[in-house]
Amino acid sequence: MYIGGLDIGTTGCKLTVFDENGKQLHKSYCDYPVKRMSGAHETDAESILDGVWKVLTDTTKKYADIAGIGITSFGETFVMTDEAGKPLHPAMLYTDPRGKEQCRMLCEKMKEERIAQISGVKPHEMYSLPKLMWLKEKEPELYKKAKHVFLMEDFVVFHLTGQAKIDYSLATRTMGFDIRRLEWSREIFEAAGIDVNLMSETVPTGTAAGTVSRAAAEKTGLSTKTKIVCISHDQIAAAVGAGVFDSETAVDGAGTVECITPVYDEIPDINVMTKGNYAVVPYVIPGKYVCYAFSYTGGALMQWCTDTIAKKEKEEAGKLGISVNELLEKQSVSPTGLLVLPHFAGAATPYMDTGSKGAILGLTTAVSAADIYRGCMEGVVYEMVLNMQWLKPSGIRFRKLHATGGGAHSKEWMQMKADMLNMEITSLETVDAGTVGSAMLTGIAVDCFKNLQDAAEIMVHKVCTYKPNKEMHEKYMKIYQRYELMYDAVRKLM
């Protein structure tokens, strides 16, 4: 039996096929353009769909009889369409500045606290609803023509099955979903002046939306018996793919973005969560919720360092036949004594300050490229320590981490995280936990796996567990006391 995970990202989509034993058989990828201008950050939903058709047709040349394909996608971005699902406008990305005034107006009609209590998110223009309000105000004729409002998961599900269905976790990214009742909030939609009937039906994460339509089968080569499954927002799929199902363990997503995802056994105090801009999101297990604590620059900061500062070391590593990351990690030790504020792409939680800038403090003529590289590694982890301090009042209780992503293969970085956070961290084999999580939930939907635990035993593979060093933890915490002061100090100047 073959199962697939289709991951729709901001700049590209990929489809990965596994067999019933969890073995990866095939991967197909297609990128698409993103347009960023001073007043608009947009993507073309038609191009995204074309990318989906391409990876599907590439895959069915070898694996046509796929039992099920799960769809996961990035959040917030939406598109209004006609009855047939044809986009009426370019889709606005979460970074698009439009919607700020509309978000303010919505908060005047409903108190910000009330919106957060219902939706689990602090009101912000990044979410779908304020941008929908902007479109209705600025493009009223387009809004009148709209028959559907889709995020990317349900947009693709609709084109594959004819069914308009979206899972709970992605629905949360609109700012209009009731995380307690697990349905669209008519109160919020009425205050926003948006017709809730334009939205897709909300369903639990991992729900089979239907089978491939005849038209989609002819276009892609898929069977009309193939089930299409509504998976989730990509971070939820990654948590599933990391085998994290209870509040004792959290996910460390060590990718381009650094993200820790804790699990809660019930809805945490929303007032505590909104202070740090943490979203509360329904999880795949009924009654459980997660939040996202993240930095925009995780592995991206190390990439910047190797591309910009360590060019000489990059050449040297090539001659030695090793990665530049491995070389740099060997040439420096922790703690470096440097303080690196990793806000090179703005600040994520707890600040959510896109205007914040990165900084490197403590430079001398004795500092090497390797020191700066390691200092960047330290800075990313200090930012996560900061987030964990902010989240303590919310009742987080995890005692260990499961690490995924490219950074999980760095022994130095994993040990650093164990030492700083003072807890065990287990690296997982897979770099792409989201794809694995999508395949796991798809496998359950098509009766390939009995349940999450059964799927995890087959699909989730642990590599190494790193235990904290008490002496190193104490050294890092002395430096962390200064790190806590960095944001306020730098922000006043920049």
Instruction: Give the number of other CB atoms < 10 A from CB of residue 7.
Output: 25
Kindly list the distances between the CA atom of residue 430 and the CA atoms of 180, 208, 321, 460, in Å, as whole numbers in the listed order. Answer: 33, 25, 23, 8
Task: Spell out the per-residue pLDDT of the chain, length 494, in tens.
Answer: 899 999 998 889 999 999 999 999 999 999 988 776 667 888 999 999 999 999 999 999 999 899 999 999 999 999 999 999 999 999 998 888 899 999 999 999 999 999 999 999 999 998 999 999 999 999 999 999 999 999 999 999 999 999 999 999 999 999 999 999 999 999 999 999 999 999 999 999 999 999 999 999 999 999 999 999 999 998 999 999 999 999 999 999 988 889 999 999 999 999 999 999 999 999 999 999 999 999 999 989 999 999 999 999 999 999 999 999 999 999 999 999 999 999 998 999 999 998 899 999 999 999 999 999 999 999 999 999 999 999 999 999 999 999 998 899 999 999 999 999 999 999 998 878 888 999 999 999 999 999 999 999 999 999 999 999 999 999 999 999 999 999 999 999 98
Give 211's strand partners: 227
Are residues 45 and 91 in contact, defined by beta-carbon separation less than 8 angstroms? yes
How far, rounded to the nearest angstrom, does the alpha carbon of residue 283 sit from its chain's CA centroid?
14
Q: Is the peptide bond before 350 cis (omega within 30 degrees of 0)?
A: yes
Tokens of 378: 């330290």
Cβ neighbors of 175 (< 8 A, separation 6 or more) are: 115, 119, 121, 123, 124, 127, 128, 129, 130, 188
| 3-state SS track over the chain | CEEEEEEECCCEEEEEEEECCCCEEEEEEEECCEEEECCEEEECHHHHHHHHHHHHHHHHCCCCCEEEEEEEECCCCEEEECCCCCECCCEECCCCCCCHHHHHHHHHHCCHHHHHHHHCCCCCCCCHHHHHHHHHHHCHHHHHHCCEEEEHHHHHHHHHHCCCEEEHHHHHCCCCEECCCCEECHHHHHHHCCCHHHECEEECCCEEEEECCHHHHHHHCCCCCCEEEEEEEHHHHHHHHCCCCCCCEEEEEECCCEEEECEECCCCCHHHHHHCCCCCEECCCCCCEECCEEECCCHHHHHHHHHHCCHHHHHHHHHHCCCHHHHHHHCCCCCCCCEEECCECEECCCCCECCCCCEEECCCCCCCHHHHHHHHHHHHHHHHHHHHHHHHHHCCCCCEEEEECHHHHCHHHHHHHHHHHCCEEEEECCCCHHHHHHHHHHHHHCCCCCCHHHHHHHHCCEEEEECCCHHHHHHHHHHHHHHCCHHHHHHHHC
Say how far apart CA 116 and CA 269 lie, in whole Å. 11
pTM of the model: 0.92
pLDDT value of position 37: 66
Which of 231, 297, 277, 267 is closest to 75 using CA atoms?
231
Tokens of 52: 């989906």
State which amino acid sits at residue 356.
S
Q: Which long-range contacts (CB under 8 A, 24 or more apart) does 112-118 make?
A: 113/271, 113/274, 115/175, 115/188, 116/270, 116/273, 116/274, 117/270, 118/178, 118/179, 118/180, 118/185, 118/187, 118/188
Burial class for 287, CB neighbours closer than 10 Å (0-12, 13-18, 19+): exposed
Q: At what angle do helices 433-445 and 234-241 cross, to 10 degrees?
A: 80
For the chain, how big is the Rg over CA atoms in Å? 22
